Amino acid sequence: MNMMRSLFVAAAILTLPASGMAQYAAGDVKDGGTISGTVKFKGTAPAPKKLDVGKDKEVCAKTPKMDQSLVVNNGNIANAVVTITDIKKGKKIELKKVTLDQHGCEYKPHVLAFPAGSSVEILNPDGILHNIHSYSKVNSAFNIAQPKFKKSMQQKIEKPEAFEIKCDVHGWMSGWLVSTANPYFAVTDNSGSFKLTDVPAGAYTVEVWHEKLGKSTQKVTVKAKEDAKANFELAGK
């Protein structure tokens, strides 16, 4: 079972960039529509698991740590990434500064999405040693120490890919970086909802990806200045 799950996740990691690799031309979008919806969990969600904090407790165990790999609130899935996989033309890609905070030995946000080419600022306010070990395959893998005296580091992610990051010092720490091929992406919030804006009118494939539940796609037609709905349901493995 465990094997199957990891295989599935591996498959998801491998296929996500491939589907997002289509050439993208940026420009101005007039009268764009939106795509919004919610991502729901099919069936009964497993009870959230408490993580075992066995190290650096005075810093890491101030608040109880919960497993963030599957967060479901009233059937709504948080931390799922919604993207348009086949969009050829659309709004400009803004490479904003994105921040990953390790405060309290936990990655915040748990899933960080951004357009490929962005630099991720990684913060370590904990005053202890962390390291950021990427399990990336498309981007070259990195494993960089962030000792106490390095409060902030930059790491540029060049290519579209969803990959896990872990801290080898604190085995429970796990997060995901999702770099996308175009600026149409959203991470679902605690209510499982998302919204993609300034989408030029047209028919698209919208994909939802979740680290544990894999992915699912649907075709969505967007009309100018209108909101198109895309609701997803992901089943537990």
Q: Which of 49, 148, 156, 223 binds other proteins (CB under 8 A)?
A: 148
Pick the closer one to other proteins by CB: 44 or 154. 154
Yes or no: say if 195 and 186 are a contact pair by the CB < 8 Å rule: yes
**What minimum distance in Å lies between the beta carbon of 91 and other proteins?**
31
Tell me: does residue 52 bind other proteins (CB under 8 A).
yes
**What minimum distance in Å lies between the beta carbon of 64 and other proteins?**
17
Using the contact rule CB under 8 A, the part of the chain among 20-28, 54-62, 72-80, 98-106 near other proteins is 54-62
Using the contact rule CB under 8 A, the part of the chain among 48-56, 64-72, 111-119, 223-231 near other proteins is 48-56
Q: Which of 22, 56, 198, 236 binds other proteins (CB under 8 A)?
A: 56
Tell me: does residue 54 bind other proteins (CB under 8 A).
yes
Q: Which of 34, 55, 197, 216 binds other proteins (CB under 8 A)?
A: 55
Longest dimension (CA), the chain: 54
Q: Which of 131, 139, 174, 188 binds other proteins (CB under 8 A)?
A: 131
User: Residues near 39 by Cβ (< 8 Å), separated by ≥ 6?
Assistant: 76, 77, 80, 82, 188, 192, 193, 194, 208, 210, 231, 232, 233, 234
Tell me: does residue 123 bind other proteins (CB under 8 A).
no
- Candidates 188, 215, 206; CA nearest to 75 is 188
Q: Which of 36, 121, 150, 201 binds other proteins (CB under 8 A)?
A: 150
Q: Which of 2, 23, 63, 154 binds other proteins (CB under 8 A)?
A: 2
Residues making contact with other proteins (CB under 8 A): 2-3, 6, 52, 54-56, 128-129, 131-133, 141-145, 147-150, 168-171
